[in-house]
């Protein structure tokens, strides 16, 4: 697991720095997607999350969920096109799960892209992700990540 100014970036995940999301290859042609530790810190205390419904089609760069925090309302964007195969109802009923467990319990949707391996090839992993997020954090004046008590990663 990599850590950047207290921001956790798991080495087994793929990242879209532009959209500040992580992607997990589920091995069956689908992927799981959620907000990064950096994204949940920037959002602040998340109070609402509404993922798209199962069966919905998503275009590249478009929203898979709407998130509202105390200081921000905005979309969680997918780095590729696909069909929503599952939505995490838990984050709709307890949006703070995204703050507490952004990479585990706080996943937002599962998607089926047309070509998983090709899409994952366009994302970053490991050291490359860390380097790009370092630049991203500098550009956005994000000093580091804040983890509240109970944070599970």
Partner 1 sequence: MTATLRIFTHPSCPRCPEAVRRAWELKQRRPELFELRTVTLSDKAGLDEAYAENIKTIPTLICNDGDAEVFRIVGTPDMAHLEASFDQSPRAEDGQS
Where on the chain is the footprint of partner 1 (CB under 8 A)?
5-6, 44-45, 69-70, 96, 99, 143-144, 146-151
Using the minimum distance from each CB to partner 1, give the nearer residue, 77 or 100. Answer: 100
- Spatial distance between the Cα atoms of 88 and 123, rounded to a whole number of angstroms: 23
Number of C-beta neighbours around residue 63 at 10 A? 17
Using the minimum distance from each CB to partner 1, give the nearer residue, 140 or 143. Answer: 143
Using the minimum distance from each CB to partner 1, give the nearer residue, 27 or 70. Answer: 70
Q: Give residue 58's region: left, alpha or beta (phi > 0; psi -120 to 50).
A: beta
- Spatial distance between the Cα atoms of 6 and 152, rounded to a whole number of angstroms: 13
- Shortest reach from residue 104's CB to partner 1, in Å: 17
Using the minimum distance from each CB to partner 1, give the nearer residue, 16 or 99. Answer: 99
Contact assessment for residue 8 and residue 38, using Cβ atoms and an 8 Å cutoff = no
- Shortest reach from residue 150's CB to partner 1, in Å: 8
- Shortest reach from residue 138's CB to partner 1, in Å: 14
């Amino acid at each position: 697991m990599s850590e950047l100014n207290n921001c956790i970036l798991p080495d087994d995940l793929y990242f879209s720095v532009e959209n500040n999301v992580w992607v997990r290859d589920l091995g069956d042609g689908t992927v799981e997607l959620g907000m990064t530790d950096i994204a949940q810190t920037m959002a602040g205390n998340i109070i609402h999350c509404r993922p798209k419904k199962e069966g919905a089609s998503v275009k590249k760069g478009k929203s898979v969920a709407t998130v509202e925090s105390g200081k921000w309302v905005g979309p969680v964007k997918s780095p590729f096109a696909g069909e929503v195969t599952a939505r995490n109802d838990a984050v709709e009923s307890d949006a703070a799960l995204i703050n507490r467990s952004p990479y585990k319990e706080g996943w937002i949707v599962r998607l089926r892209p047309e070509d998983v391996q090709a899409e994952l090839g366009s994302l970053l992993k490991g050291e490359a992700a860390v380097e790009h997020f370092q630049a991203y954090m500098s550009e956005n004046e994000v000093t580091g990540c804040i983890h509240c008590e109970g944070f599970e990663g």
